[in-house]
Structure 1
Amino acid sequence: MPKPPRLRAAALTAVLLSSVLAACSGNAKNDEDLSAQKLHWKDCPAPSAAEGGGSAPSPLPNGGTWQCATMKAPLDWGKPKGDTIGIALIRAKASGAAGKRIGSLVFNFGGPGGSGVTTLPAFGQDYAKLRTRYDLVSFDPRGVGRSAPVECENDQQLDNYFQQDATPDDAAERTEFLDNTKNFNSACEKNSKKVLPHVRTTDAARDMDLMRQVLGDDKLYYFGISYGTELGGVYAHLFPRHVGRAVFDAVVDPTQNAEQSSLGQAGGFQLALDNFAQDCTSKAQPCPIGDNAQDVKDRIAKLLTDLDKKPIPGIFPRQLTQTAATNGIAQSLYSKDFWQYLTEGLQEAYDGDGKILMALSDSMNGRSENGEYSNITAANIAINCADDKARYDAAYVQHKLPEFRAASPLFGDFLAWSMAGCTDWAVAGAADHPDVSAAGSAPILVVGNTGDPATPYEGAKKMVNALGKGVGVELTYKGQGHGAYDSKNKCVQSAVNGYLLDGKVPAAGTVCS
């Protein structure tokens, strides 16, 4: 489970799960019109350690190739003639006839902190239909991957950091938790002081408008998933006249502050756990982890209580702690496809083997099998803390624990204590919540999933209302997991493809199941 101030709202789970179960040019001066820069596209290198490592992206099934380039952007958008940073880009050129090409379709898969350069190729085939008329493009947002990455603690320190008890029960545990948080935040300031003030979502949105110009598009065609919907909303607010066709999937509620978001996620993950337990026990064959839905949840609660007292062996030499197990359970709830791993992981944990749940937890934290971490956690915390104005101390968290426990007996404590993560952060937060009002924008298709754990369904309606009259168009998917388009539901994909490819806006209130 990601670190404070809220669970990472990301669409990266399939990429990270498969890996565990199967640059900043700080002194470059901007002496040119950056909108006129030329991108030098080349074959993509293997992902950097900050991007998660691994192999260079494979060619597309129809023979197309992935190309990478670096775009220069101001480090500080308040000083556009000052130092620049490099923003890493990736693309697959449109596969259809040249005369049918619309432009570039820019993806952000969420986080904040997720590398688009590594995620787009992993999901690329899912967007083959869209590629017939668009160049598919994604990027590492500033602070992420190859784009002036935020750096905090090293791999060994992170192993220790993620082994900590993140749901402290007494004064000694609270002191240790808060000390660990302070040490992590201090490491971020020490190693990334120059970039920390400049990783806000508003900065990334300005990068996207520069990207639009450099890619040669009059309008931004955009597909935002999870946190990518917040980024897209902020872009629409800043540049409403530059919005082309845009889709928001797995929608962040833009009206919530950090506390409300964390509380909403507690309820969202509890709903997903309830659905998982009901699904396991409603099939013809016996559920191996409980006799009925309540029994499944009771046994999970007992496992976590037992792990708090005595961890079990995980992936050697680490042990599966209560926190790691909770993290792994949350990871598996991002997609119904992962429920089988949760069932297997729980079965093994009940027998004293924590490997599967720890692998799921590692996936959430961006840890590869060789023990190296991507910078997704560092970037997630840095962006959230730069965005969110609120700072919560231990006394406030303790006061709020009953409310969080009511929302989720299983996840409430973790999400409540995660709110303390921005305490003593080096940079002040920008606002209570993002401004996404976008009068004058083209229609934006907003897709909400009724079973989404990380971005609860109610956020879609809130986004539609916040975008303003005549902008947001809501589509509901009655499904499970984080997001809708990648569920491969034909109704959802038909509506999204119809808008992005042909400009056909679905009727507001359309429901897919």
Structure 2
Amino acid sequence: MTHAARARRPLSRLAAGAATAVLLLAGCTGVDPAPDGDESADPDASATSAPSTDGPALEEIGTSAAQDLGTDPAEDPAYAEYYAQEIDWGACDGVDGEDLECGTVTVPLVWNDPEAGDIDLAVGRLPADGERTGSLVTNPGGPGGSGVNFLESVPFMISPEVRAAYDVVGFDPRGVNRSAGVECLSDEETDEYLAATAEPGSAEAAELSEKWAARIAAACEAHSGEELPYLDTYSAARDMDVLRDALGSEQLDYLGYSYGTYLGASYADLYPDRVGRFVLDGAMDPALSMNEIAAGQAEGFEHAIEAFLADCLERDAACPFTGTEEEAKQQLIAFFSSLDESPLDSGDPERPVTGAMARSAVITLLYEDGLWRFGREALTDAMKGDGAQLLNIADLSSERQPDGSYRTNATFAIMAVNCLDRPGVADDDWVQQEAERLEEEYPTFGAMMGGDGCTDWPVPPLREPAPIAAEGAGPIVVIGTTGDPATPYAWAESLSTQLDDAVLLTFDGNGHTAYGRSGGCIEAEVDAYLLEGTVPEDGLTC
């Protein structure tokens, strides 16, 4: 399965007060205008073959029920009840923070058939603690990241000046956690899935991947089949406009990280006249197919592990690896492979650390270079026979709690959204050749990123990869980090040129996203934009 942008959350169990964030697994896709939305809500009703002008043909594409409604729902009487809501704010359940308030917003399940039922979206806010100027809606990424839970991180991620002026608002998008969260495997089955391991690129790994993809797809359909066709990003973007109205805002002010940049760009494309101050950090490129995204991430994570190992080797005895950077990489790969054969003792006899779990832990730490120290320590212990720290990091990545439950459904919500949002290449031979290329060129993680996990998904992809222009919106601030493994810098460059009116800010550093972790320069530019409307200089590098 493709590893993509992780939803941001602090690793407080690794370091008290760590102002960092790591995620789950994510991705993105593209936008393409479609016929009027009066067609059947059946996603199979209008499947057509995606065009292939620059590469192999993609999978058949259906039509999203929210893609083109042929009307502005905010002005259409059929949607009047949705656009007449006020949020009844109250106490939050299961979210830490004294000042946090929570409520719900109701949206149509099927956007082109508002009589087909509703979804209640969970919404939270951290009220402005100064002279309030409006609401700043946020999305932490994923897809699958809980925006309500993300509010716990706001004191670490968003400047005091912005928090003084804005109610910071997060929501769980449809299919995520509290918002009609998609249900698939049990907690025990999820443990089994995340621990399942085999040497990446091997026939055994391919068989294992196919088995789990089919099992998860069947479980999701059995438990959440009615919702699955309507969890795409077009639908989530429509939902954000209802949220905007319920917050009493004429325009949407927005801060989106990672996948949240794709959600934000989609909103801007649908509602350009309602775009307020928009910041898209860790940008996704909507013009890429699933396979192109996988290739970009395979390269990004290979560069990230090389940077991590180079830093590690400079620390001599504090590093568990020796020799050159290439020799250190081979030692790490060999260590992972050894755990595919013989899992490592973690202190919990029921949960030894498998190769899959170790790789997940290391990938997680590559999202934030401030956490590389924990990676060195965990790998040092593990290579001496103690896998407790690696298990802890892997559990943080998947949001597994000490009692064995999972805090959110992000492990499966990402699949539910990605499998709708982005098609892959339909030619099996091409896919196999591409997988072999990724394994050869990016030996540490490339073999893990050659498949998409959507072959057995019960709903076809609903969108074609295509640029997003959002004509009439803007100026939009796009941010890219040069050493971002999950959303490579080239994607931010691409999105900033696609958008009709955008500026690009560059953070010259390692890790995923920039605002809240760049050290001050990016934060100063973004804050001036959000607070004063001062548009940053295009091309500014920090």
User: TM (normalized to structure 1)?
Assistant: 0.89
Match of 1:226 in 2: 258
Q: What CA distance in whole angstroms lies between the structure 1 residues aligned with 2:261 and 2:10?
A: 19
Match of 1:335 in 2: 368
Match of 2:389 in 1: 356
Q: What CA distance in whole angstroms lies between the structure 1 residues aligned with 2:14 and 2:107?
A: 33
Kindly indicate whether residue 149 of structure 2 is the aligned counterpart of residue 115 of structure 1.
no
Pick one of 326, 334, 340 that aligns with 2:359: 326
Q: What CA distance in whole angstroms lies between the structure 2 residues aligned with 1:20 and 1:490?
A: 21
- Between 1:112-121 and 1:9-18, the stretch displaced more is 9-18
Match of 2:285 in 1: 253
Q: State the AA in 1 paired with 2:82.
A: L
Kindly indicate whether residue 157 of structure 2 is the aligned counterpart of residue 126 of structure 1.
yes
Instruction: Go from structure 1 to structure 2 and tell me whether the alpha carbon gap of 1:294 and 1:389 turns closer, same or farther (over 3 Å shift).
Output: closer
Match of 1:53 in 2: none
- Give yes or no for contact 2:260–2:280 (8 Å, CA) kept in 1: yes
SS in structure 2 opposite 1:446?
Answer: strand
Q: What CA distance in whole angstroms lies between the structure 1 residues aligned with 2:426 and 2:197?
A: 18
Instruction: Go from structure 1 to structure 2 and tell me whether the alpha carbon gap of 1:255 and 1:20 turns closer, same or farther (over 3 Å shift).
Output: farther
- Give yes or no for contact 1:464–1:472 (8 Å, CA) kept in 2: yes
Kindly indicate whether residue 345 of structure 2 is the aligned counterpart of residue 313 of structure 1.
yes
Q: CA RMSD in A?
A: 2.2
Match of 1:299 in 2: 331
Q: State the AA in 2 paired with 1:365.
A: S
Q: State the AA in 2 paired with 1:492.
A: I
Q: What CA distance in whole angstroms lies between the structure 2 residues aligned with 1:276 and 1:198?
A: 40
Match of 2:29 in 1: none
Match of 1:484 in 2: 514
Pick one of 127, 136, 146 that aligns with 1:93: 127
Q: State the AA in 2 paired with 1:80.
A: P
Shift of 1:401: 2.4
Q: What CA distance in whole angstroms lies between the structure 1 residues aligned with 2:110 and 2:528?
A: 38
* Higher helix proportion: 1
Match of 1:52 in 2: none
Q: State the AA in 2 paired with 1:57.
A: D
Pick one of 85, 97, 100 that aligns with 1:37: 85
Pick one of 132, 135, 145 that aligns with 1:104: 135
Shift of 1:451: 0.9
SS in structure 1 opposite 2:444?
Answer: coil
Shift of 1:324: 1.3
Shift of 1:255: 1.7
Shift of 1:365: 2.0
Match of 1:74 in 2: 108
Pick one of 218, 224, 246 that aligns with 1:186: 218
Pick one of 453, 456, 475 that aligns with 2:505: 475
Match of 2:72 in 1: none
- Percent identical among aligned pairs is 37
- Give yes or no for contact 2:157–2:517 (8 Å, CA) kept in 1: no
Q: What CA distance in whole angstroms lies between the structure 1 residues aligned with 2:369 and 2:439?
A: 24
Match of 1:27 in 2: none
**Residue by residue, what CA displacement relative to the aligned partner does 1:151-209 show, whole Å, maximum 9, x if unpaired?**
00001111111121265555455333312220111000000001101110001100001
Match of 1:49 in 2: none
User: TM (normalized to structure 2)?
Assistant: 0.84
**Residue by residue, what CA displacement relative to the aligned partner does 1:1-26 show, whole Å, maximum 9, x if unpaired?**
xxx3x21312324258659999xxxx
Q: State the AA in 1 paired with 2:206.
A: R
Match of 1:376 in 2: 410
Q: What CA distance in whole angstroms lies between the structure 2 residues aligned with 1:365 and 1:146?
A: 17
1:407-446 equivalences under 5 Å are 407-417=441-451, 419=452, 421-433=453-465, 435-446=467-478
Instruction: Go from structure 1 to structure 2 and tell me whether the alpha carbon gap of 1:195 and 1:323 turns closer, same or farther (over 3 Å shift).
Output: same
SS in structure 1 opposite 2:10?
Answer: helix
Shift of 1:402: 2.6
Q: State the AA in 2 paired with 1:229.
A: T
Shift of 1:254: 1.7
SS in structure 1 opposite 2:136?
Answer: strand
- For structure 1, list consecutive stretches of 5 or more residues without a partner in the other structure: 23-29, 47-55, 60-64
Instruction: Go from structure 1 to structure 2 and tell me whether the alpha carbon gap of 1:334 and 1:172 turns closer, same or farther (over 3 Å shift).
Output: closer
SS in structure 2 opposite 1:422?
Answer: coil
Instruction: Go from structure 1 to structure 2 and tell me whether the alpha carbon gap of 1:238 and 1:338 turns closer, same or farther (over 3 Å shift).
Output: same
Match of 2:436 in 1: 402
